[in-house]
Structure 1
Amino acid sequence: MNMNLITNQIITDWKPHYPSLFGNHSLALTHNLAASSLFTDEALARLIEKSPREGYHVNYSQKTPGNPPKRREGEIKGLSGLEVLDTVRNGNIWVNITAPAKVDSAYGDLLDTIYAEFEERVPGFKSYKRNLTILISSPNVSVKYHSDVPGQSLWQVRGTKKLYVYPASKPFISQPALEKLILGQLRETDMPYEPWYDDYAQVHMLEAGKMLHWPLNGPHRVVNENMLNVSFTTEHWTNELRKHYAVNYANGFLRSKLGMNKLSQQVTGASYLAKLATAAAVKFTPLNPQKQKVYKVDFQVDPKAPEGVRDIEGYSFSK
């Protein structure tokens, strides 16, 4: 997808002061991807049909006020992509296509174009190890309070959702919780949450053609309005983000293995260099505490079942 970034920009409302906000504050922007052919029912159905088991997740959780309970992992079998979309439209599930570019290179081209545009507009911003995940979710679905490790943005393409973004600091995210998240000892959606956190959240109504980028590790949760929602996330790394990752990785190892508690998160100076060496020494040896994620599958997408979910005998897979 070769776009002329001067005449056909994806972000349509960029302002001169936005570079100073990018990555430091929540930044809501308008984009032109709601009309893209990459997100029609037909395009999404093809992705669903062609994505291998390791290339998607399908989840379910009970509809409850506020933060929903733990989500369940499911599978898609014996259904066309359009049947899956109809089940999502009428059920209580969401499908995450985690590697669409491996199915259709046009999504990789889109990702490259998005980041080329940001790198052109934000001085000094250079990204790598980027990814795009497509989210297709039922009316009124809620996504639990969680935080992500890389830099993150959410792009709304179809439907409307309410996005709550919380400060990336105590008490909304603790240093030990962030370290466990980075070490894979805590699932993103298992982070501690209290209802009063909402009093301190920034609340954004994301309609089709809107996106939001927020500061690194910022906790957030999502509530769909009463319609099918299609959105996608973009994630990236920069040298600066990798410094924070390395420090928190080393801190997590030092806290869990050596019982150390007074740990700085600074990314400069002698302590940072020592932690960088620690992270490198641990990550690429058997001492590495990170493990493959294990997912237990216990339902199958079924258009005829209540909420589109039919229980099956459980099994696990790793990725």
Structure 2
Amino acid sequence: MSQVEERQRAIQRQVKEADAKRPKEKPQGAMQAGAREYPEPPFPDQLLDKPGLEKDQKLQPMYDAPYWKGSGKLEGMRAIVTGGDSGIGRAVAVLFAREGADVCIMHLPGEQADADKTCEAIRGEGRKAHSIAGDVTDRAFCFSAVEQAAGALGGVDILVNNAAFQLHVGQFEDLTEDHFDLTLKTNLYGYFHMTQACIPRMKPGSSIVNSGSVTGLMGSPAIVDYSMTKGGIHAFTRALSGALIARGIRVNAVAPGPVWTPLNPSDDAEKAKHFGEGTPMKRPAQPEELAPAYVFLASPQMSSYITGEILPVIGGYGAH
């Protein structure tokens, strides 16, 4: 036997002995590393009708980030957040306001109750709030809404493209053309329309933050269409960032992992019960855990040398 073989076997024996001596670790619960404790699966058994209202969720998403202290990171800026009535959009809008921004949220007409609550929270931070109901798949609406938002806020410095449609299907063949079309029109065309409407109003120092997804990085077999659009958003972010560098406008994206929002119980009730269990942290994020990433990428104080980046916030890497 050669010296290298002896060395390999000695190391093998050492590892085996160490494993035998060490007691087996008991299964751990979900990781709790935040300022407060967050809910863990299983979640309430509930199916909401699309598009899903946050006010109707049995388990309310946590969006207000009570331990976050504002420090003027967005002082005097004007932001538009699509899908801002609930979920990640609501949390982002509230944190933007706490950092000194006036905020216009955009939402579907049936989500007015959620939008009103978000606007109330923005005003509670001492900032202007405005809401506009409509459909981002409609190009004319997007241009009209941006004009209205700019008038209400006095301009546009930040665009957060966040509105999305997602619905699981059991088999790929069950994905209809209408379903596929709505996903693309909402998740890609909506971003395209809103960006083209905002750019002419933006000055150097402005920024665009897109909501991507871990599904755009890794795929997801039951939401092929959604995964495809999120991958497209990541490519859109990188390509557009290069196109806007000369104008001083930064473009980045956040790629969330599972986040507890109205998308989940309005998609698949059984999957929602166990949502986020497969992550290394064994739970989904709450919206307030995602919002700081958007503040970071929107703030010229914090990320002035960052553009074209995709920031994953997915609950850890490793075997599930």
TM exceeds 0.5?
no
What is the TM-score with the length of structure 2 in the denominator? 0.23
- In terms of fraction of residues, the more strand-rich structure is 1
What is the TM-score with the length of structure 1 in the denominator? 0.23
The structure with the larger Rg is 2
